[in-house]
Amino acid sequence: MKSSKGLSRITAIGAAGITLLLLSIVGCLAVGSVHMPFGEITRILLHHIPGLQDLFPPTWEDASAQIMMKVRLPRVMLALFVGASLGTAGAAFQGVLRNPLADPYTLGVSSGASVGAAVLITFNLQLALFGQWSIPIVAFVTAVMTLLVVLLMARHSGKMAIETLILSGVVVNAFLGACVSFMVSMSKQTVNDILYWTMGSLALRGWQYVLIIAPYFLITFIILCAYARPLNLLSLGERQAAHLGLHVERTKWIVLLTATLVTAGAVSVSGVIGFVGLVVPHMLRLMIGPDYRLLMPMSAIGGAIYVMWADTIARSILAPTEIPLGVVTAFVGAPFFAYLLIRNKKKQRLG
């Protein structure tokens, strides 16, 4: 009886999340310089689904279909995958480190990935090493190196304090930011491209970028969801998880490397977008509980919704001028991070 109630709860929350995601996709597609009603957007989308063309014959202008399928839809889908990637990575980092302040941005992983991308851009090697996969692969390598440095700096006598971990991330972030600034000053020809990575943007990104990030997200999402139960055990403490039969160190490294890989994939197509992995999993944990079997997929959905609407705000609030996406997410994320830090200090003081 208890398990059936739990299953029905998971089903209800999942259905609500998917419904909100679909409504957000249509809502974000409706916002733009050319007004398009919801009904027309929905019919255009359904018309392009194989097998439904006859049920939804074209009743719209060809220009509307071109705007939808070649301009708005690829950008919204890219925002969906980037947000889902960062939301999932944030939930994984918080789970494996048992730290509500951990996410790819605060730990310097996003900045590490952006340094790898900036090096390739500076020396015009974007396609020289592995074709279109050059930036994602190099971004992953530099992101892993950054993560290792942060973890080594935070470790003392076999333990890892929350304040030390966050401070290590801040220090590494500052250093990597200086590295990127140095590359900007070195090469004025690619200054705009490098600045794009530091502020984050989805402008002028077509379907090819969606095809780059989609495999990253799908593979890593499956792996991280498979480790939902081990993450639940880790939340009890490493010693107790080991007593319950969990191979703690192997689990931690698999989850950390997988989360780093999906972060590198997101950064390689969008640049550094901060605080998504911090805000989304934490808010969802307060709403639906700490069970990673539900929290992991819902973090993907929540991250997708968050970034889609943030990008919509970035491109429309001061149109035709576009605000960098990372600026919009930081306006929300930075105060939220400060709130979590203050709350965590109060908890330690009371404890």
Which has the closest alpha carbon to 279: 139, 108, 115, 89?
89
Which has the closest alpha carbon to 169: 267, 265, 93?
93
- Say which CATH topology domain 74-350 has: ABC transporter involved in vitamin B12 uptake, BtuC (1.10.3470)
Q: Using H for helix, E for strand and C for coil, what is the string for 111-179?
A: HHHHHHHHHHHHCCCCCCCCHHHHHHHHHHHHHHHHHHHHHHHHEECCEECHHHHHHHHHHHHHHHHHH
Which has the closest alpha carbon to 200: 276, 130, 120?
276
For the record, the structure tokens of 319 come out as 């149109």
How many whole angstroms separate alpha carbon 281 and alpha carbon 259?
A: 14
pLDDT score for 191: 66
Which amino acid is it at 198? T
How many whole angstroms separate alpha carbon 53 and alpha carbon 260?
A: 40
How many whole angstroms separate alpha carbon 318 and alpha carbon 320?
A: 6
pLDDT score for 118: 82
Q: What contacts 54, CB < 8 A, 6 or more positions away?
A: none
How many whole angstroms separate alpha carbon 31 and alpha carbon 150?
A: 40
Q: H or E stretch including 311? A: helix 292-316
Using left for φ > 0, alpha for ψ between -120 and 50, and beta otherwise, residue 99 falls in beta
pLDDT score for 192: 67
As a residue count, the chain comes to 351
Instruction: Divide the 351 residues of the chain into consecutive groups of 10 and give the mean pLDDT of each group.
Output: 66 90 93 84 86 82 87 94 96 88 83 85 76 79 88 75 77 87 73 72 85 91 95 90 88 90 86 88 89 94 96 88 87 80 66 55
Q: What contacts 238, CB < 8 A, 6 or more positions away?
A: 248
Q: What are the extents of the domains in the chain? A: 74-350
Which has the closest alpha carbon to 122: 174, 172, 179?
179
